[in-house]
């Protein structure tokens, strides 16, 4: 747990949902070649409200624009923020290059969160694909912190290749945690990789759960989530016990710009976390 | 107040209606000018009827009639002194609450310090002249998007406030109009201050005005306008009824709402795709389209930047861009998104139709794609 | 370990998901073609080009499906886990292993004699049908997975 000297400070939140609040880069960790994790701290007495697991913020890069980024850890006490960024576009590359002390704008928190309480007294399956592990990490942290509330906890993580694996320290500690069944697999591997090779759904054979009493949380590329959901349904898990986090073009994040529409849903506010039953139809329609 | 006799109630209702001459309307116009209101209304510009700020009552277009069809818009001027005998031009009043471009905020970066300055618009009293029932519905649609939700759009809120609505009961529907099918007109029923019916014949030219707010009632009373007689009101009703009857039923909106989503893989979308240019005209003229994107404008020094919001369209390619590619690559998927949003998913989102039947998307489509016809063809199996 | 030793091959097979829905006497019949085996880490269970005489059901440990490339070295195509089948080439001609099967850790398996099972299937077509259905399901699942793997979905 991260403690801050400014904890007693009275932080204010803003009313105009368009105005970013300024944060400073407090710390950064290089995850791998493409990904960086940042700890941000408020630059003034203003901050965004406390975040829930699965929610996202709009990060503003000066003069360039905004990108939606999920909270990637809640182990840093509010009002600190933890975000993991993949440097792939103009804005994310700007963020990727931020140095300690640099400022960025933050709007949020937006969207629905992982319904953690649904898993109380039940087995849990978390299926993460690629950078989809980032939005799921706060959930894994919560499950770990209150481990007694849940039965068996399975985390299945699929990555493109060994180099793309995120959160190495966490992955190692989860793998050695006797209370979590953490399995990782890669689609393609280089020499020296001694772990599993194959798609993430093939890890389901290694998970232990009672299908009638299991809640599943999915985040990753849409194709991966669709096939993971089929595999979970085939294993006997009820569709209403499957949750997944969708990605669409979030621009305003407040359901007013229209960009993230997916059928009747505004992914930014009705999601990004959806119940599978709620969006089964949408998932089956191409180019929706 | 149960002791009020029915005659008195009848009298009160009747007192809601005034009979105005063109000169009376001018008086009303000037009253608003004196009271520091902006009069925003129709005027003739670039061969079309546009809506903008009017300095003089004479700016209102006189004797104009429209000849409208799918992909066609022409104005003709007759010798009469009519003020509201055209239907509507390309614009609705949308742009006056929700401008094509508006600044959200600006920011400065100075030695690493980032400061953001909120953009605060000034409130301004205004009167909208000549708004039709379809467009009035469109405004309440936008209100649901921008105001009655978890988040309010601050710019919209400021511009929307303190607006007097002088609506017009439509006397001249065009060939592309279908408000009766969407239950949005032609009679102005709610959310107005004044609803005017233009009564025009060879011998007569006057306006029957129904007040819809205390404020309007007060103003018209203060200006000592003449009350309308029962016969006057009946005559005005006839104008509206004639308009209603002149429009054919476009399609079954309940069926459209229910079945469009089930038709997601219908081959008819491919047929539309062959015609649709994805030019986005339909979304620009639509009075309810609310999609926006943002644009960041930075000075050459890189120290000052502004964030602007501007209209966007679901027909644009990068509208649905996510990391890894565009979700709606094909034009058919964009057309499907647009039409099923208007006629189906809008109900789920805002509990009302996203289409008000104004027909602008038909008029201003360069290839004349007709939403009524497309829906009919998509629903053809379900009908049979 | 004592407990494991006392279990018959048939008992072990009955507990496996792969044999779900197959009647006891059939499992008993098949188990006649199987033996318990143990492989040390790095030991091959089958080599590319060799005659595919066996297939394996993993009880414990992990097997890798590998291919050697002159430039890229040894490529791991897939890892196979407890309860899963390693080796499918025994089922159809030309009965030749296409890839290497290697124990990635200490691995216990039930090794089946492919010819023995084939002979039994020829004698009893209903058994042949059942087994073929099971293997087709597994092959179809692996084909699907391979296709998704080729998509390179992660970014």
Q: What is the pLDDT of residues B16-61, one digit of tens each?
A: 999 999 999 999 999 999 999 999 999 999 999 999 999 999 999 9
Contact between A44 and A3 under an 8 Å Cβ cutoff? The reply is no
Indicate the pLDDT class of residue A228, thresholds 50, 70 and 90.
very high
Look at residue A27 in the predicted model and tell me its pLDDT: 96
Strand order in the sheet with A196-197: A196-197, A180-186, A153-159, A123-129, A214-219, A242-245, A273-275
Look at residue A15 in the predicted model and tell me its pLDDT: 78
Two structure tokens written together for C135: 């293997």
Nearest-CB residue to C153 (from A193, A202, A223): A223
Residue of A189, A187, A193, A117 lying closest to A157 (CA atoms): A187
Residue of B312, B289, B311, B292 lying closest to B371 (CA atoms): B289
A12 vs A55: which has the higher pLDDT: A55
Q: Nearest CA of chain A to the CA of B257: how many Å?
A: 12
Number of Cβ within a 10 Å radius of residue B43: 21
Two structure tokens written together for A169: 């320290």
Q: Mean pLDDT throughout C32-58?
A: 96
Two structure tokens written together for A54: 């699965």
Q: What is the pLDDT of residues A56-90, one digit of tens each?
A: 999 999 999 999 999 999 999 999 999 999 998 89
Two structure tokens written together for A82: 């933890």
Contact between A92 and A84 under an 8 Å Cβ cutoff? The reply is no
Q: Mean pLDDT throughout C5-33?
A: 88
Q: Mean pLDDT throughout B211-239?
A: 94
Question: Is some CB atom of chain A closer than 8 A to the CB atom of C84?
Answer: yes
| Whole-number average pLDDT of chain C | 92
In C, which residues are within 8 Å of A221 by CB distance? 153-155
In A, which residues are within 8 Å of C17 by CB distance? 205
Look at residue A203 in the predicted model and tell me its pLDDT: 96
Left, alpha or beta for C85 (phi > 0: left; psi -120 to 50: alpha)? Answer: beta
Q: What is the pLDDT of residues B369-383, one digit of tens each?
A: 999 999 999 998 644
CA B359/CA B344 separation, integer angstroms: 17
Look at residue C7 in the predicted model and tell me its pLDDT: 82
Residue of B26, B76, B84, B75 lying closest to B55 (CA atoms): B26
Residues shown for chain C: 155
| Whole-number average pLDDT of chain A | 93
Indicate the pLDDT class of residue A190, thresholds 50, 70 and 90.
confident
List all residues of chain A from 93 to 122 with a beta carbon under 8 Å from chain B: 101-105
Find which of C62, C68, C78, C148 to mutate to test the A interface (most A CBs within 10 Å of its CB): C148
Where would I find the H helices in B71-229? 94-97, 133-146, 154-160, 179-182, 214-222
Question: Is some CB atom of chain A closer than 8 A to the CB atom of C147?
Answer: no
Q: Cis link prior to C94 (omega < 30° from 0)?
A: yes
* pTM of the complete model: 0.92
Look at residue C21 in the predicted model and tell me its pLDDT: 85
Q: Nearest CA of chain A to the CA of C122: how many Å?
A: 31
Q: Mean pLDDT throughout A38-50?
A: 95
Contact B330 A248 (CB under 8 A): no
Left, alpha or beta for B372 (phi > 0: left; psi -120 to 50: alpha)? Answer: alpha
| pLDDT of B100 strictly over 80 | yes
Q: Mean pLDDT throughout C69-84?
A: 91
Which chains touch C (3+ CB pairs under 8 A)? A
Residue of B nearest to A99 (CA): B112
Residue of A173, A179, A131, A181 lying closest to A156 (CA atoms): A181
Look at residue B6 in the predicted model and tell me its pLDDT: 55
CA A127/CA A204 separation, integer angstroms: 9
Look at residue B20 in the predicted model and tell me its pLDDT: 96
Contact between B115 and B107 under an 8 Å Cβ cutoff? The reply is yes
Most confident of A56-60, B144-148, C71-75: A56-60
Contact between C58 and C20 under an 8 Å Cβ cutoff? The reply is no
Q: Mean pLDDT throughout B343-359?
A: 96
A11 vs A52: which has the higher pLDDT: A52
Q: What is the pLDDT of residues A250-273, one digit of tens each?
A: 999 999 999 999 999 999 999 999
Contact A288 B327 (CB under 8 A): yes
Look at residue B324 in the predicted model and tell me its pLDDT: 78
Q: What is the pLDDT of residues B235-265, one digit of tens each?
A: 999 999 999 999 988 999 999 999 988 889 9
Q: What is the pLDDT of residues A104-146, one digit of tens each?
A: 999 999 999 999 999 999 999 999 999 999 999 999 999 999 9
């Amino acid at each position: 747990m991260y403690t801050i000297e400014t904890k007693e400070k009275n932080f204010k939140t803003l009313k105009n949902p368009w105005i970013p609040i300024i944060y400073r880069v407090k710390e950064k960790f290089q995850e791998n070649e493409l990904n960086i994790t940042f700890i941000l701290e408020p630059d003034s007495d203003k901050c965004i409200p406390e975040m829930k697991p699965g929610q996202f913020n709009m990060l503003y890069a000066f003069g360039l624009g905004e990108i939606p980024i999920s909270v990637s850890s809640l182990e840093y006490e509010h009002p600190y923020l933890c975000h993991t960024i993949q440097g792939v576009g103009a804005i994310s590359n700007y963020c990727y290059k931020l140095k300690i002390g640099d400022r960025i704008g933050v709007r949020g928190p937006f969207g629905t969160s992982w319904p953690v309480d649904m898993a109380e007294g039940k087995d849990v399956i978390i299926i993460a694909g690629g950078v989809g592990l980032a939005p799921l990490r706060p959930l894994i942290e919560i499950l770990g912190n209150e481990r007694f509330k849940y039965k068996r906890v399975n985390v299945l993580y699929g990555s493109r290749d060994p180099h793309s694996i995120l959160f190495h320290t966490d992955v190692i500690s989860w793998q050695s945690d006797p209370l979590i069944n953490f399995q990782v697999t890669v689609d393609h591997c280089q020499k020296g990789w001694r772990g599993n090779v194959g798609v993430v759904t093939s890890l389901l054979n290694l998970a232990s759960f009672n299908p009638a009493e299991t809640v599943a949380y999915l985040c990753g590329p849409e194709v991966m989530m669709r096939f993971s959901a089929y595999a979970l349904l085939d294993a006997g898990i009820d569709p209403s016990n499957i949750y997944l986090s969708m990605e669409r073009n979030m621009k305003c994040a407040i359901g007013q710009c229209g960009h993230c529409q997916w059928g009747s849903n505004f992914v930014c506010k009705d999601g990004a976390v959806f119940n599978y039953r709620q969006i089964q139809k949408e998932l089956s329609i191409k180019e929706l | 107040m149960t002791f009020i006799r029915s005659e008195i109630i009848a009298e009160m209702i009747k007192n809601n209606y005034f009979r105005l001459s063109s000169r009376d309307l001018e008086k009303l116009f000037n009253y608003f000018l004196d009271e520091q209101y902006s009069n925003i209304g129709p005027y003739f510009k670039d061969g079309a009827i546009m809506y903008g700020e009017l300095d003089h009552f004479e700016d209102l277009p006189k004797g104009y009639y429209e000849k409208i069809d799918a992909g066609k818009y022409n104005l003709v001027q007759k010798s009469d002194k009519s003020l509201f005998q055209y239907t509507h031009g390309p614009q609705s009043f949308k742009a006056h609450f929700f401008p094509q471009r508006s600044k959200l905020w600006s920011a400065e970066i100075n030695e690493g310090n980032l400061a953001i300055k909120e953009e605060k618009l000034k409130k301004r009293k205004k009167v909208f002249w000549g708004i039709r029932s379809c467009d009035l519905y469109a405004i309440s649609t936008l209100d649901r998007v921008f105001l009655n939700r978890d988040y309010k759009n601050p710019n919209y809120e400021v511009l929307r406030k303190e607006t007097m609505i002088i609506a017009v009961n439509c006397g001249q529907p065009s060939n592309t109009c279908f408000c009766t099918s969407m239950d949005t007109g032609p009679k102005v029923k709610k959310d107005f201050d004044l609803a005017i019916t233009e009564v025009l014949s060879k011998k007569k030219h006057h306006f029957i005005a129904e007040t819809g707010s205390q404020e309007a009632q007060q103003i018209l009373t203060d200006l000592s306008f003449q009350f309308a007689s029962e016969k006057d009101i009946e005559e005005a009703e006839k104008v509206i009824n004639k308009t209603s009857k002149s429009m054919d039923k476009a399609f079954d909106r309940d069926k459209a709402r229910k079945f469009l989503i089930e038709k997601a893989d219908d081959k008819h979308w491919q047929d539309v795709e062959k015609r649709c240019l994805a030019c986005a005209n339909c979304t620009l003229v639509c009075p309810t389209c609310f999609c926006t994107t943002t644009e960041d404008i930075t000075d050459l020094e890189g120290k000052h930047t502004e964030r602007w919001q501007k209209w966007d369209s679901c027909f644009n390619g990068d509208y649905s861009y996510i990391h890894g590619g565009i979700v709606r690559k094909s034009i058919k998927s964009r057309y499907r998104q647009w039409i099923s949003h208007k006629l189906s998913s809008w109900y789920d989102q805002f509990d009302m139709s996203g289409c008000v039947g104004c027909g602008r998307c038909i008029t201003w489509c360069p290839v004349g794609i007709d939403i009524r016809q497309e829906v009919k063809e998509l629903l053809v199996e379900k009908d049979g | 370990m004592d407990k494991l030793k006392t279990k018959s091959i048939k008992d072990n097979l009955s507990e496996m998901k792969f044999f779900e829905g197959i009647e006891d006497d059939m499992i008993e019949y098949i188990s006649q073609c199987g033996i318990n085996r143990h492989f040390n880490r790095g030991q091959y269970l089958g080599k590319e080009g060799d005659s595919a005489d066996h297939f394996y059901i993993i009880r414990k440990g992990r097997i890798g499906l590998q291919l050697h490339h002159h430039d890229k070295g040894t490529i791991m195509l897939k890892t196979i886990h407890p309860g899963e089948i390693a080796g499918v080439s025994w089922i159809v001609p030309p009965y030749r292993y296409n890839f290497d099967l290697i124990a990635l850790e200490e691995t216990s398996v039930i090794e089946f004699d492919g010819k023995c099972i084939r002979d039994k299937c020829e004698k009893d077509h209903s058994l042949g049908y059942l087994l073929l259905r099971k293997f087709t399901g597994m092959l179809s699942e692996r084909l699907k997975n391979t296709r998704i793997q080729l998509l390179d979905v992660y970014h």
